[in-house]
Amino acid sequence: MSKHGLVIACALATLAGCAGKMENPTDYYTYRDEPLVKQVEEGMTVQEVKTIGGPPSSSTRRKVKSGTCNNYILTKDGHKQAYHVSFDSSGRVEETGFMTCEQRETADREKAEGSGGGGGY
Task: Please check whether residue 97 lies inside any domain of the structure.
Answer: yes
Pairing of strands 68-76, 58-61: antiparallel
Q: pLDDT above 90 covers what percent of the chain?
A: 65
Over 50: is that where the pLDDT of 12 sits?
no
Residue 58 in any domain: the answer is yes
Burial 23-32 (b: 16+ CB within 10 A, else e): eeeebeebbe
For 46, the domain range is 22-114
Query: Can you tell me the distance from the alpha carbon of 65 to that of 73, in angstroms, rounded to the nearest whole number?
Result: 23
pLDDT tens for residues 79-112?
Answer: 999 999 999 999 999 999 999 999 999 999 998 8
In the sheet that holds 93-97, the strands lie side by side as 58-61, 68-76, 79-87, 93-97
103 lies in a domain? yes
Q: Is residue 53 one of the residues assigned to a domain?
A: yes
Residue 19 to residues 12, 27, 83, 91, Cα–Cα distance (Å): 10, 15, 19, 28
Which pLDDT belongs to residue 5? 44
Tell me the three state secondary structure of residue 83: strand
Residue 8 confidence (pLDDT): 45
Residue closest to 103 by CA, chosen among 119, 120, 89, 84: 84
Q: How many domains does the chain have?
A: 1
Domain-located, residue 30: yes
> Is residue 8 situated within a structural domain?
no
